[in-house]
Structure 1
Amino acid sequence: MTRPEITAPVKQASAEQAASTATSLGELPIWKLSDLYPSRDSAEFKTDMEKAADLSKAFEARWKGRLTDAAANTGADGLGQALKDYEILEDLLGKLGSFAGLTYFSDTSNPANGKFYGDVQSKLTDLASHLLFFALELNRIDDATMDTALDRDPQAAHYRPWVIDLRKDKPFQLDDKLEQLFLEKSMTSAAAFNRLFDETMAELRFEVDGEKLPLEITLNMLQEPEEPVRHKAAEALSKTFQQNIRVFTLITNTLAKDKEISDRWRGFDDIADSRHLANRVEREVVDALAVAVREAYPRLSHRYYAMKAKWLGMEQMNFWDRNAPLPETPKALISWPDAKETVLSAYAGFAPQMADIARRFFDEEWIDAPVRPGKAPGAFAHPTVPSAHPYVLVNYMGKPRDVMTLAHELGHGVHQVLAGEQGALMAQTPLTLAETASVFGEMLTFRALLEKTKDKRERKAMLAQKVEDMINTVVRQIAFYEFERKLHTARKDGELTSEQIGELWLSVQEESFGPAIRISEGYETWWAYIPHFIHSPFYVYAYAFGDCLVNSLYAVYQNAEPGFQQKYFELLKAGGTKHHPELLKPFGLDATDPSFWSKGLSMIEGLIDELEALDRG
């Protein structure tokens, strides 16, 4: 998933400068999607699509209305066989969908890619309608019968964690006809508006000094050392967002209403409960996290931004100065080979197996690194399916933050490879734990670099950048979560104007930034570009959850806990087969304990203390 506001490219002032930058970075890899299919027009893709259609219909014909009987049998007619057949289908459908998605995100501006992606999504939705009965019918089997079936049939017992997890959805299921209607209409409701957002954002251009730039490059100008450059970028962003705000307001209103309708029909009490259920995390745990972070604003973001304003020679920073580099920040670009070596050596220092898995992403062309027109912004690691392998997308332009982003996404990739052993049904990790390996990998890389840095000024710049990244990952994401809560709550009373949404946005930003940052006209539209609000409502708290969890986990590692690496790999290999209390117990951690979050936040506070000490010294 896209890293929160820690992206890669820097300003491209001209084609000549861009070429020079690319040369200094070395050859950047482009992913080899042919590992999935040779091309979108290939015979292999078409054959698998036809195979998926035949298998989906055959699965429905064989098992629909027969699962209760299957629960009483073993072997070819037993529940275990039905689950195995379903998993095989899930893997095939996932492979087809992954190829279409990755092709589209390689160049969202290509109309042929857009049509291919849309057509494949439509076909997969049609096929999913033949499989929809399976989960619904499984959940209508009474508990005693299901328990007996899982105990009696060894093949079914293998899928016990998935079945138990599935049954948590039972109270929120609708009848079959309604579920099918929700599924089929998703293509013309939420999915359609998601695609409208992606394609609109990909086409936006932001004019700076007469040059029209895409979003990714313009956002990263906010990390340039010269204040006038940051100011111009902020003005260009505000201007273009404002020019398109009606579209983003319509998308936001529509998706919020669509979610409210779905939640109401399913019987969810709270606006975020459907996300909590999907994440397999209790509302009380998330509420405790949000409260802990909000209470820490003065000790974290308010305190740090006040220090940074002083370092930059300002009484108060403008909002476009928030991610400005310190004067001590090295300006030299980091080549791709150096970035690769930095991450792999940091991973190897923790566990050679971790580096070996990450190295495959480089050696076997599973990474797409260059910035190019139409390519999806930001960064993500896509797991595809267990029968294939994950892919990583970054937009690499040689800044230190880009190395951290690479370490982050490769952490996801390692996690996805290890969890793939669980198979298509149980490999997926709940979002609350999905950020564990990524943030941990990033922390390993940061600590390795920090240990090598003896120069006091460079050390200060590194620590400051890490603190900013952690504030972006924890404080900012909880502020985003609070914004979503306010927006979805207000939407229940009627459609919101862009001005009303802007007021909600500013209220949470002012609270999280504190008095050291001046929020001026234009920033009220900046909610419009955050993709998480569109694609995954309330996803954002998973970043804060993951960062705080890893801070606590890393503290256990630093204390030389015996067998830590082995326990860590077992956590990653578990995929979706275990709940967070069970996974964290071997490390002596408990996310339901209110003090758990305080421990995670104290690590950020400790880094700020270290920065303050360096400043005094």
Structure 2
Amino acid sequence: MTLNDRRPVFDANAQGAGGLGKLPDWDLTDLYPSPDAPEFARDMAWLESECAAFAAKYEGKLADLDAGAMLACVQAYEAIDVIAGRVMSYAGLRYYQNTMDSERAKFMADAQDRITTFTTPLVFFTLEFNRLEEAHLSGLLAANSDLARYKPVFDRLRAMRPHQLSDEMERFLHDQSTVGSAAWNRLFDETMAGLMFEVAGEEEALNLEATLNLLTDSDRTKREAAARALAVVFDKHIKLFSRVHNTLAKEKEVEDRWRKMPSPQSARHLANHVEPEVVEALRNAVVAAYPKLSHRYYRLKAKWMGLETLQVWDRNAPLPTDAPRLVDWEEARATVTDAYAAFSPEMAKLAEPFFTKGWIDAGVKPGKAPGAFAHPTVTTVHPYVMLNYMGKPRDVMTLAHELGHGVHQVLAAGQGELLSSTPLTLAETASVFGEMLTFRKLLDGAKTQSERKTLLAGKVEDMINTVVRQIAFYDFECKLHAARREGELTPDDINALWMSVQAQSLGDAFDFMDGYETFWAYVPHFVHSPFYVYAYAFGDGLVNALYAAYESGLPGFEEKYFDMLKAGGSKHHKELLAPFGLDASDPAFWDKGLDMISGFIDELEAMEA
């Protein structure tokens, strides 16, 4: 997340999608016609020469540039960023389609190696830029409004000034990145893609995605069999996963120490352009709300299921009153686009090309990366969405979520490459809002009390997964990185850290099976993006507050919302939220979002009365 001889267990397109209809595949030709296309070779050659030319023209000279020359320099740097991003987007997306294909893996690794080599001469730019005197830079920005537009980029660059190393050390870190964390990321991805699970009652071994999917099956026996199969395979590979986490955490600790980062989380907060105290307020508000959210809901769910306690395979189980239902692709598409259109026809129009132009890869295929994502590629092309669509109602919400990301990325592209990228804390805004629009559309259309209960319960579970579970993940990472600073962690050490946050967050309604202690192993965010996970809770809380403003009839909400998405990374969260009367730095802000979840649970409890 990011050819073998195993037969596909569930190839959605080849099997007529098991009633799902024809699922779309990516058309990557908008990036490059093929791996051996002359356009790809041309761009690689251009990058090599342009990076060298950029360094020859500007290295050692940034302090002497006037405002116009500095603008030209920044725009040249941005142009390089576009082409390098295009190359790596193509290589990465091909790889994610089949991580077990050695040709695709080699193509991506070779592209990464070459890009790293070509861009090493550019390392000077950030280092030199951060040595500019503040008064001098302010003068340049005041003299040229086009240059001043890049100030948010410069602010994020200069936030790293206290943590900048010597020029030589920064070049070394840049050069060795492909055999550092990137190599461990690949090992994790390829290992996960190759895992097969012998699930009792299934005729063939299943891959990770198909096995996880069984955890939402209506048959409790199947859910238990899947959970136990996961535990067996994770335990078999636990030493490898422990090595991956130990190595990445130690690598991070070494770099953080050299950079004088005050905490393991600091680099993520800086990258997200969010203050540590804002994240701490979010974390504390969610943890304090565990009893009124997850603890209360899961006790209610145990009652609905006629159980004294829930097992881990019951966490995402459908309610006993749910009629198992397969949602085909066309229905999923109509559900989401209709919900988008009800909010704004423009939003539905922006979503349309994803379905019609090969911007979505939806089917479950052998070797395909698990999970779902929206990749923005570069601002001169368009985003691509990856799903593993299996027709569950939750898959419809995943489509709504990833399509929200895609729409956001399309709108933000107008900012240009350097300003379009949204900090993670705001990157989940449009995705979670898209989910909320889809949920509200379905809820408004509920014809019976039972249907309304099913929808409400599903939404509460999704919100608990987005808020409670992700903050528990964040606490796990905090504990893991703190413990790794004291020395090597055994698998049992990591297992114990995992269980400590699981018990706290899920509550007394749960009994935990033997083997669940290893389930940290498959979460890709811990490997690819340390401390990313709080962004989900941030986004959910922010959207709940935004949606409340929308429901209350805030004048001009639609226009303000589109302006926020179009801003990309050009504004701080305080500036973006001000038009809605919201402030994420106010500790009480998070309680508003948590109260919405609590209110849904209140309604579910009232149905029992």
What is the TM-score when the length of structure 2 is the normalising length?
0.97
Q: CA contact under 8 A between 1:80 and 1:154: conserved in structure 2?
A: no
Pick from 542, 563, 588: which aligns with 1:570? 563
Pick from 556, 559, 563: which aligns with 2:549? 556
Which residue of structure 1 lines up, in the alignment, with residue 576 of structure 2? 583
Task: State how far apart, in whole Å, the 2-side matches of 1:246 and 1:506 are.
Answer: 18
Displacement of 1:575 after TM fit? Answer: 0.7
Task: State how far apart, in whole Å, the 2-side matches of 1:235 and 1:410 are.
Answer: 33
Displacement of 1:154 after TM fit? Answer: 3.5
Which residue of structure 2 lines up, in the alignment, with residue 503 of structure 1? 496
> 3-state SS of the aligned residue for 1:47?
helix
Task: State how far apart, in whole Å, the 2-side matches of 1:150 and 1:596 are.
Answer: 34
Pick from 178, 186, 211: which aligns with 1:195? 186
Q: CA contact under 8 A between 1:407 and 1:442: conserved in structure 2?
A: yes
Q: CA contact under 8 A between 2:199 and 2:225: conserved in structure 1?
A: yes
Displacement of 1:298 after TM fit? Answer: 0.5
Displacement of 1:160 after TM fit? Answer: 2.1
Task: State how far apart, in whole Å, the 2-side matches of 1:32 and 1:259 are.
Answer: 36
Which residue of structure 1 lines up, in the alignment, with residue 516 of structure 2? 523
Which residue of structure 2 lines up, in the alignment, with residue 155 of structure 1? 146
Task: State how far apart, in whole Å, the 2-side matches of 1:13 and 1:539 are.
Answer: 32
Task: State how far apart, in whole Å, the 1-side matches of 2:18 and 2:277 are.
Answer: 51
Matches within 5 A, 1:74-89: 74=68, 78-89=69-80
Displacement of 1:26 after TM fit? Answer: 1.1
Task: State how far apart, in whole Å, the 2-side matches of 1:590 and 1:158 are.
Answer: 24
Change (3 A) 1:208 1:555: same
Matched, 1:314 2:269: no
Q: CA contact under 8 A between 2:10 and 2:364: conserved in structure 1?
A: no
More displaced, 534-543 or 319-328? 319-328
Matched, 1:105 2:96: yes
- 1:278-301 CA distance string (max 9 Å, x none): 111010000111110001000000
Displacement of 1:416 after TM fit? Answer: 0.2
Task: State how far apart, in whole Å, the 1-side matches of 2:476 and 2:508 are.
Answer: 19
Matches within 5 A, 1:260-279: 260-279=253-272
Which residue of structure 2 lines up, in the alignment, with residue 9 of structure 1? none
Amino acid of the structure 1 residue aligned with 2:252: K
Which residue of structure 2 lines up, in the alignment, with residue 609 of structure 1? 602
Task: State how far apart, in whole Å, the 2-side matches of 1:518 and 1:492 are.
Answer: 31
Matched, 1:395 2:388: yes
Displacement of 1:482 after TM fit? Answer: 0.4
Matched, 1:340 2:333: yes
Displacement of 1:171 after TM fit? Answer: 1.2
Displacement of 1:342 after TM fit? Answer: 0.8
Q: CA contact under 8 A between 2:281 and 2:587: conserved in structure 1?
A: yes
Which residue of structure 1 lines up, in the alignment, with residue 119 of structure 2? 128
Unaligned runs of 5+ in 1: 3-11
Amino acid of the structure 1 residue aligned with 2:586: D
Task: State how far apart, in whole Å, the 2-side matches of 1:559 and 1:342 are.
Answer: 24
Which residue of structure 2 lines up, in the alignment, with residue 418 of structure 1? 411
Q: CA contact under 8 A between 1:80 and 1:157: conserved in structure 2?
A: no
Change (3 A) 1:427 1:82: same
More displaced, 545-554 or 201-210? 201-210
Pick from 147, 151, 166: which aligns with 2:157? 166
> 3-state SS of the aligned residue for 2:110?
helix
Q: CA contact under 8 A between 2:312 and 2:513: conserved in structure 1?
A: yes
Matched, 1:28 2:23: yes
Task: State how far apart, in whole Å, the 2-side matches of 1:25 and 1:296 are.
Answer: 39
- 1:148-207 CA distance string (max 9 Å, x none): 111113432232221222211111111110101111111111111011000011111110
Amino acid of the structure 1 residue aligned with 2:17: A
Which residue of structure 2 lines up, in the alignment, with residue 5 of structure 1? none
Displacement of 1:395 after TM fit? Answer: 0.8
Number of matched residues?
603
Q: CA contact under 8 A between 2:95 and 2:104: conserved in structure 1?
A: yes
Displacement of 1:332 after TM fit? Answer: 2.2
Q: CA contact under 8 A between 1:202 and 1:215: conserved in structure 2?
A: yes
Task: State how far apart, in whole Å, the 1-side matches of 2:311 and 2:67 are.
Answer: 68
Task: State how far apart, in whole Å, the 2-side matches of 1:159 and 1:15 are.
Answer: 47
Displacement of 1:135 after TM fit? Answer: 1.2
Amino acid of the structure 2 residue aligned with 1:420: A
Q: CA contact under 8 A between 1:60 and 1:131: conserved in structure 2?
A: yes
Amino acid of the structure 2 residue aligned with 1:186: S
Q: CA contact under 8 A between 1:329 and 1:462: conserved in structure 2?
A: no
Which residue of structure 2 lines up, in the alignment, with residue 142 of structure 1? 133
Task: State how far apart, in whole Å, the 1-side matches of 2:138 and 2:453 are.
Answer: 58
- 1:51-70 CA distance string (max 9 Å, x none): 11111111111111111111
Q: CA contact under 8 A between 1:328 and 1:458: conserved in structure 2?
A: no
* Aligned-residue RMSD, C-alpha: 1.5
> 3-state SS of the aligned residue for 1:562?
coil
Amino acid of the structure 1 residue aligned with 2:48: A
More displaced, 23-32 or 386-395? 23-32
- 1:315-359 CA distance string (max 9 Å, x none): 101111111100222322111111111111110111111111011
- 1:90-148 CA distance string (max 9 Å, x none): 00110001000001001101000110111111111112211111111111110111111
Matched, 1:462 2:462: no
> 3-state SS of the aligned residue for 1:392?
strand
> 3-state SS of the aligned residue for 1:108?
coil
Task: State how far apart, in whole Å, the 1-side matches of 2:74 and 2:559 are.
Answer: 30
Pick from 249, 263, 269: which aligns with 2:242? 249
- 1:331-390 CA distance string (max 9 Å, x none): 221111111111111101111111110111112110001110011111000000001000
Displacement of 1:21 after TM fit? Answer: 6.5
Q: CA contact under 8 A between 1:21 and 1:397: conserved in structure 2?
A: no
